[in-house]
Structure 1
Amino acid sequence: MSEVLLKVDGLSKSFGGLHAVSEVSFSVHDGDIYGVIGPNGAGKSTLFNAIAGVIRPSSGRVYYQGRDVSTLGAFRKCRLGIGRTFQSSQSFAHHTVEENLQAAAYGPASSLKSWIRSRLTDAEARQVASVLELTELAPLRDKYPADLNNLELQKLSIGMALVNQPKLLLLDEPSGGLIEAEVNLLKKFLRSLKAKGITLVLIDHKMSLVMDICNDITVIAAGKYVASGNPESLLSNPLVREVYLGHN
C-alpha cells in the first residue's frame, strides 16, 4: 500500500459555543482520490479550511507527509504542496485566463498586468503554459472569466491551484453548477490529475461523481465522523443511509 500522504487526527473546530467539526479522523494515501461527504451543514468546508490552513483547528492534528502541519497557515502549506479550491470559483474578473493563472502563482499586486510582466521568469511562464494545456484552457488563454462556461470556470479555479504544483489538492464542490454531461468531463479531468501524480480529496454533493471516482470516502454529519470505507460499503451502511440519505 502507498504511504499516508495526509492524516487528520481528532480534528475539531469550534466557533464560540458552536462545534463545527468534532474529532474527525481519516487518512489519505498517496495517489488516492478521496471523498468527504455529508448533508448540508455537516462541517465539510470548515474541515477543509482547517486542513488547508485557512483557519486553525481548535484541537487535533493534521499531518502531511508525516509532518505535523496543524498550526501552519495556508501560504506555508501551499509551499509544502497542499493546494485548495473553494465552492465558488475564485478568479479575477478583469484579467484573462492566463493572467489569472499567473496571479495565482505569484501573488497580488496593485497593477497585476505590470507586476506579472516584470516578475515572470521563464520557468514560471513554462509552468503556467503547462497548466493551460493540462486544463485544456490554452485555446481560451486570452478570454475573460465571464466568457467561460461553468466547466471551464471550474477548470480555471483548479488550474489556479495547480500552478503551485501541489502534491495534495483539496477540491470543494468541483461539480457545482455543472450539468451531468459536464460532470462526466470533470471526472475525466480529475482522473488525468491523478495520473499526473496528484492526490485528490474532494467534497461534493453529486453522488454520481463521488461514488464513481473516489476509492475511499469519509462521511460526516453535524461535524462528527460517521463512517469511512469504499463506495460500495458505504452505500450498504444503515447509519450512512440514515444520516446522509435520510432513511435507514
Structure 2
Amino acid sequence: DAEELDDYKDKPRAPNNPHRKFTDEEYKDVVESFDSTREEQNGRFENFVEDMRAAGRNLSPPKLNAQKKKIWDVRPGVRKIKAIVEKLWESAEKTKTIGKSYVHKILKKSGKYPEKEEKKKPKEFQRPTEPGNCFCIDTGACFIGDKTQIQFQPVFDEFNSELVVLVAGMSCDHTLSLKALEELCRLYPDKELAIRSDGGKEFDNHDVKDFFVKKGISWIKISKPWNNPFAERGIRTIKH
C-alpha cells in the first residue's frame, strides 16, 4: 500500500560534512592559483622562444603553437592547482580538500578554460547528400593463380561506397581509365558527374582530360592518398 511504498522512498538528508561547502574566498583561491601557474607557464614559453632564437632554430608558427599547447596542457594544470590550493588551506589550518573535477568546474565557470571547438570532418570524408553524383577511382594490382599480375580500377559511389564499376587489364595506362569512365557514363547517362582520383599518369593525361571535357565530368584531383579515403579503403577490401 501507500505506506509501504513510502518506506522505500529516498529521504532527504543533510550533507555528511557541511563544512566542505566552499566560500567565495575559497573559490577565489582556486582562480588566483590558476593565474599564478599560468604566469609560470608563460615564463617557460618565453624562455623556450629565447633559447630557440639563440640557437638559430626553427621558430615557425606551427612549431610554436605545438610547444605552447604542450606547456598549457589542461590536466596537469588542474592537478597542480589542486595541490597548491590544498597546501594553502592546510597552512591556514583548514581541513578541506577539493577534487580535480571541481577545480576544473570552477575554472571553466570563471572563463579560464575556453569551450573546445567541435572538430569538423575534412571535406574529403564528408559523403554526398545523394547517390550517383560524386564518385572516386583508383588503381590497384593483384596476382592471379599463375602469378600473373593484373591491374584493376574500381569506381565507388562516395554516397555509400557502393562499387559501381570494376575494370581490369594487364597494364596501368589511360586505356584502362577510359574503359572505367565509359562504363560509368553508360550507367549514369543523364547526370552531371564528379570523380575523385590522384594525379597518376593513368588519369592525368590528354586523352582522359579530353574525355572529362567531352562528358562534362568534374575532375577532383588529389595529391595524397588520404584525400581519397573511400577508394583507398575499397581497394583494400577487394584485395583482401
The alignment's TM-score, normalised by the length of structure 1, stands at 0.24
**Whose helix proportion is higher, 1 or 2?**
2
**Whose strand proportion is higher, 1 or 2?**
1
Q: Which has the larger radius of gyration?
A: 2
The alignment's TM-score, normalised by the length of structure 2, stands at 0.24
